[in-house]
Amino acid sequence: MGNMSNKAKVTLPEFQEFLLERKLVPAKNVTFFAHWVSRFLDYARKRDLSAVEYQESTVIEFLDALQSEKRIQDWQHRQADDALRLYYFHYLGKTGSRASDGDMPADVPGVLQEMGRLIRIRHYSYSTERTYLQWVERFLAYALKPGRKISELSAGDFKDFLSHLALKRKVSASTQNQAFNAILFLFRFVFHKEPENLSNTVRAKRGIRLPTVLSTDEVKRIFTHMSGTNLLIAQLLYGCGLRLMELCRLRVQDIDFAASTIFVRSGKGDNDRTTMLPAVVKETLQRHLEGVKRQHDHDLAQGYGETYLPDALDRKYPNAAKEWTWQYVFPSSKLSVDPRSGRIGRHHISEKTVQMGVRNAVKKAGIAKHATVHTFRHSFATHLLQNGVNIREVQSLLGHKNVETTMIYTHVLRDMKNAPQSPLDAL
């Protein structure tokens, strides 16, 4: 322990050299990775905890302590997690008790249970947990031939499965990427193995796809076949450019009526952003929230009224789950049992309910396009550009990381009146 604490005082120069030589992280981040490891070693030393071998309980305790610090952002928390993994499993070459073949879950249910536990520790969403577990179950069914042990799985099996998805199953690029992330999590955090040489894996190719966009008249026609909460949801999807789950996860405190602003928390890429709140829906939304408040007060009177809180906020603010500001703008019509905590509460509206409401309205409106919930977001962006809004502003409202992603809507904007004349029309 004494030697390791001395290393921490000089910010682990050997570890930094190792990261630079192996090019495991960008050079500009090397000192930050060493900083997190140094903090962890100091944390363990002060609490007389073992830091010689990888102890998952100690690491999780440290990461939870980090997350409780207000100045620590989510990306820093993830960076600290990555730094400790690189330090133990790459630099020191040591694996904790969970990494040895003897203690690694030897059966499929054990692997799935352990993976689910690790996903929850890292505060992934429940939908991500389910998706990851489904992909891992499919991977294990594919790779575990009769007589093979789980401990024998390697990066070769990983590559074979991805190639199988691309060549045999003909899955889309996004589907294959989803499988890739799930199995990479399995190898890194459950097996404590770093898959190498994945570059020559056959990957599904993603071509250029133009989005389906509704005209303003088509949007109006769809709205005429909706009413009540369904109409309000559709208006927000179109008027704010929200993704489906961004709308479902809206909380009361995310609506700023005075500033005509909606705050989108932990959107795609775990990024926050703001978007506009249309004036035309303000009164309807306020009446809707009055009804949700009455429902919440009734739940509290019945001994319920709790909602799910992200990350470790339920431990940091024990009573926040029952506070009005944390309730969902569009709650479920029924109380349900949280699959993780086992507590009874009111979750947000099901995404399937939203999808079905839009699908039925599109059908009734007789729109001959493959219009979905996400089509409202595409239409939001395209109509803003049509109205002369700067593309950078549209990029910000959509939450796109790169303007190139937003540029796809300029293809839809081509004025067909000025397009070249078809040779057929010249006959």
* Backbone angle region of 56, left / alpha / beta, with phi > 0 → left and psi within -120 to 50 → alpha: alpha
How many Å apart are CA 385 and CA 405, to the nearest integer? Answer: 14
> Which amino acids are annotated catalytic?
243, 268, 374, 377, 400, 409
Dihedral sign, Cα of residue 13, residue 17, residue 20, residue 25: negative
Three-state SS for the chain is CHHHHHHHHCCCHHHHHHHHHHCCCCHHHHHHHHHHHHHHHHHHHHCCCCCCCCCHHHHHHHHHHHHCCCCCCHHHHHHHHHHHHHHHHHHCCCCCHHHCCCCCCCCHHHHHHHHHHHHHHCCCCHHHHHHHHHHHHHHHHHHCCCCCCHHHCCHHHHHHHHHHHHHCCCCCHHHHHHHHHHHHHHHHHHCCCCCCCCCCCCCCCCCCCCCCCCCHHHHHHHHHCCCHHHHHHHHHHHHHCCCHHHHHCCEHHHEECCCCEEEECCCHHHCCEEEECCHHHHHHHHHHHHHHHHHHHHHHHCCCCCCCCCCCHHHHCCCHHHCHHHCECCECCCCEECCCCCCEECCECCHHHHHHHHHHHHHHHCCCCCCCHHHHHHHHHHHHHHCCCCHHHHHHHHCCCCHHHHCHHHHHCCCHHHCCCCCCCCC
